[in-house]
Structure 1
Amino acid sequence: MASLRTHSTPDWFGDAKFGIWSHWGPQSVPRQGDWYARFMYVPGHPHYDHHVKTYGHPSSFGYKDIIPLWKAEKFDPDALMRKYAAAGAKYFVSMGVHHDNFDLWKSSTHRWNAALMGPKRDIVGEWQKAARAQGLKFGVSEHLGASYTWWYPNRLYDQFWPKLGLAYDGADPQYADLYHDNRDEPFRNSGESWYTKKHAFHRLWFSRMRDLIDQYDIDLLYSDGGLPFGQVGRSLVAHLYNRSKSGAVYTCKDSGSGEFDPAFVQDVERGVLKGINPRPWQTDTSNGDWFYSDDYEYKSSAQIITMLADIVSKNGNMLLNIVQYPDGSLPPQSEDLLADLAQWMKINAPAIHGTRPWKIFGEGPTETAAGMFQEKSDYTSRDIRFTTKGDTLYAMTLGEPSDTVAISALAKANPHDRRAIRRVRLLGHGAPVSFRQTDQALVIQLPASLPSRHASAFEIHFA
């Protein structure tokens, strides 16, 4: 455990700022979105209704029967990774195992895995090779910790006619290694009840996660929840750190138990922290639903880019899921976003990659709520976010400005940096732009056209 006491977040993570995630697996097949494997066993939920109508009753056609339908027949990890690298990603995270207890790697300990079933491909291994070829750091997400309680409904039954009392297929003992043997721990999406207290499952989790770490030499491990299972979890993270040659990252969510452990990176699902955090942290979010859904509303490119600027200004990273079809290809919304990100990063990456926070994260009328599931903000051109690199300051507008940009934090008598401003450059614009520093603000005159469709970044040099 000594590696936990001495661990600090490696520089590569603080420099990366932007990663892409493939939150993808058999639950994509029904095209209904997240948590399908659970809710297909919950009468009254739309997933249950869809399942009965499309596939049949879960007593005869269960989740085990969805798995063979996941073929990944158009999955081309090398082509996708080239797009992700062009879009500015510096690390890539593959789904390892979701709450559905299905491993996406060539597992040494679990027969329910993608190398033997479904696509019959080592999905994690293929992603890893593609990421390494593009020079990206490689991570894996694990959602197994909560699986034991999360999947409790698969062994229940309808409490109404015509199949009253007929057990779902999860009650069949021959599939217990997929569906678990949970008979008395219903899932509650809060606090300690997220994880089972069953020690046998703790040992199973450790064995599976160690197999994953040892096979794929990962740089980052993400747990969907707080650190699982106390000392068992800490032992696994210590193993991850001890194996790493370039510095590994373990990221998990705040359990609400007090100050976040400095040996880990705090992850905030679909949200941000308040202000500048002294340690690097991460937002995980998606451009659509977590698993592909036909009906989910996608985020716009402007929303993703302004979220990224806000997060980076506060010492955070964005881990962005790019939604995939069940076959492994990308829907048009994902393709369009990647194209927009590539164009924006080609111009503005210096204000993102390798930067650190300034004295303040930003200014403007729009306040982003802190905490999970608080990611919607309608920014204006007066909302500015700051980053630094060496002696250079970057100021990014979170709305599209016209004519001038006024930055009050850089007024003549500002408390942050009293040095005179020598030069201001708009990234992507060939010539320096005109500016004046008044008692109220740094006022920047904009050129006739802006090089970026979305947030604009100014490079500011002091005398």
Structure 2
Amino acid sequence: MNRRSLIKKVAAGVPLIALAGSIRAADEVFNGPNEKIISGPFEPTWESLSSYKTPEWFRNAKFGIWAHWGPQCQPEYGDWYAREMYLEGSKVYKYHLEKYGHPSKFGFKDVINEWHAELWDPSELVSLYKNAGAKYFMAMANHHDNFDMYRSKYQRHWNSTKIGPKKDIIGGWKKAAMENGLPLGVSVHAAHAWSWMEPAQRADKKGEFAGIPYDGKIRAKDGKGLWWSGIDPQELYEQNHPLSENSADNGVIHRQWNWGNGVFPPSRAYCDKFLNRTIDLINSYDPDLIYFDDTALPLWPASDAGLKIAAHFYNKSIKKNGKVETVIFGKILDELQRKCMVWDIERGQSNVIEPMPWQTDTCIGSWHYDQRIYQDKRYKTAKTVIHILADVVSKNGNFLLNIPVKGNGTIDEIERSVVKEIGEWMKLNSDCIYDTRPWKVFGEGPVMASAAPMSGQGFNEGKNKPFSSNDIRFTQKSGHIYAIVMGWPENGNIIIKSMGKNAKLLDSAPQSVELLGSGKKLKFSQSDEALMVNFDVDRPKLDYAFVLKIV
């Protein structure tokens, strides 16, 4: 098969495993699920999925809160703990040695066993998030550590109902979301455990444990007399395969995220299990949104498992609602793929009004809870969160914010204060957020003029100069335009150049300018160059972003 034919078949949705012998032998082609998959108008091809339309409820919701919570929060030492504890000499490795012991004796499986979530109150937390203005709630169903936070048929032993908390975490979050009237999302990251956990196959190169393997290759027979006796750790670690090319390079995992660049191909059994696990999650918990931490869809293009999951999810929604009311998020999408799901940008923002709805996701701290961020008071402030929200919504986006949860299931008092302040601002100003659409331009000001470009996944967050009263973001609905001003004007006036007569963006001259949340009408004048608004009002408590409702 020539290269052009190969590209055409891949674009049509045929997985590379069925096309390229260099990936794996033809008799290893993925052969389908055991879980019931619902048929319907969507088929597991990119072309078929491209008829997807983002539901209006999601476009109107704008703001969601995420509990990116699992056993890696138990050490309270930041993100990717289950991988970095096996990186000799790293900060996490050194912390693990001090707290738990050597990873040849106390591996990540043992960290899971320490996680009890004894103070977790999902109803209280989701209620708090709803009061902060969240219109949907996301919970992590599994991470790259491969541990399921639900009653999993296919991760039979390594799930939260059997080990660790011995609780149905997703079940608890779902009940709380329903009590609060919020759509439930689940985030699924486990497709990458295959390569992400490869450092668990290593051994120290120096010191008293030099040459003694970590616990990444142990099997059930090695657990005799131990707490995990009779349970196979390979169901968790998935390391019964050769290392990927350049696996000793700790950064190569990022270049291999799209199942290329020398990653050792996942087996048919691994892909089959992932498909069954995820379909089981969908069928058992009926989520409204699924976040995939993958390039495009899980395991693509090594397998068509992700395409089958997406088609099932959309068809299931049609069967239930008569139309697709569900949302899938994917990263690093090409033009065709952005029609198939909602494009997610991690820790970053687009610099234009996107033609299709999108989402940014970020965190007020580390993705997994990190006691160092708490101790050093390095959380994002409510001010920063509101500025991101306004910027994202002005560009046709939604904002998903993670509030890190401690191992015991609580959030700390600093986080709680940030969440409550977000709610205070939203109670006054949410009219400029919910149900809105972008205006003709998304904004004006110095930050817009020098915006930092995105990298592949995003990651341009925090690279711009701080917002000021000269930075404005616009939204609109019901014939009104909202100007969100990112700081209090010290000279008593706001100048909006985009609304001057010469800009020719307004359909008619403004009739009224109101300070949202106060009901006060402000004095204004329009010249050729700008709309000037006079601020002869008392300075509000949350003065870092205020809203002008322009009619």
TM-score scaled to structure 2, two decimals? 0.81
Match of 1:229 among 293, 299, 302: 299
Q: Which residue of 1 aligns with 2:474?
A: 386
Secondary structure in structure 2 of the residue aligned to 1:366: helix
Aligned-partner Cα distance in 1 for 2:395–2:216:
45
Q: CA deviation at 1:410?
A: 0.6
Match of 2:141 among 96, 100, 106: 96
1:71-150 to structure 2, matched below 5 A, reads 71-110=116-155, 111-150=157-196
| 2:332 alignment partner AA | D
Q: Which residue of 2 aligns with 1:201?
A: 270
Aligned-partner Cα distance in 2 for 1:219–1:374:
28
Percent identity between matched residues is 40
Secondary structure in structure 1 of the residue aligned to 2:141: strand
Q: CA deviation at 1:222?
A: 0.5
Match of 1:192 among 244, 247, 258: 258
Aligned-partner Cα distance in 2 for 1:398–1:252:
30
| 1:405 alignment partner AA | I
1:311-350 to structure 2, matched below 5 A, reads 311-350=392-431
Q: Which residue of 2 aligns with 1:254?
A: 332
1:230-262 superposed Cα distances (whole Å, 9 cap, x missing partner): 32211110111111135110101015x555430
Q: CA deviation at 1:370?
A: 3.6
Aligned positions, number: 460
1:186-243 superposed Cα distances (whole Å, 9 cap, x missing partner): 3521252477632322111111111111111111101112112332211110111111
Q: Which residue of 1 aligns with 2:197?
A: 151
Q: 1:196 to 1:89 in 2, by over 3 A?
A: farther
Q: CA deviation at 1:453?
A: 3.2
CA RMSD across the alignment: 1.5
Residue ranges of structure 2 left out of the alignment (5+ in a row): 1-39, 43-48, 221-232
| 2:331 alignment partner AA | K
Q: CA deviation at 1:438?
A: 1.6
1:254, 1:260 within 8 Å by CA — same for their partners in 2?
A: no
- Bigger shift: residues 132-141 or 444-453: 444-453
The structure that has the greater radius of gyration is: 2
Q: Which residue of 2 aligns with 1:70?
A: 115
Match of 2:351 among 260, 269, 274: 274
1:155-194 to structure 2, matched below 5 A, reads 155-174=201-220, 175-180=233-238, 181-185=240-244, 186=247, 188-190=253-255, 191-193=257-259
Aligned-partner Cα distance in 2 for 1:109–1:160:
38
Match of 1:240 among 287, 310, 313: 313
1:43-69 superposed Cα distances (whole Å, 9 cap, x missing partner): 011111111111111111111111121
1:28, 1:291 within 8 Å by CA — same for their partners in 2?
A: yes
Q: Which residue of 1 aligns with 2:550?
A: 460
1:271, 1:283 within 8 Å by CA — same for their partners in 2?
A: yes
| 1:17 alignment partner AA | K
Match of 1:293 among 345, 351, 370: 370
Aligned-partner Cα distance in 2 for 1:147–1:401:
50
1:435 matches 2:524:
yes
1:384, 1:395 within 8 Å by CA — same for their partners in 2?
A: yes
Aligned-partner Cα distance in 2 for 1:357–1:166:
58
1:294-332 superposed Cα distances (whole Å, 9 cap, x missing partner): 222211111110000000000001100011111111112
Aligned-partner Cα distance in 2 for 1:300–1:89:
17
Q: Which residue of 2 aligns with 1:219?
A: 288
Aligned-partner Cα distance in 2 for 1:399–1:324:
31
1:33, 1:293 within 8 Å by CA — same for their partners in 2?
A: yes
Secondary structure in structure 2 of the residue aligned to 1:131: helix
Q: CA deviation at 1:70?
A: 1.1
Aligned-partner Cα distance in 1 for 2:314–2:442:
31
1:373 matches 2:459:
yes
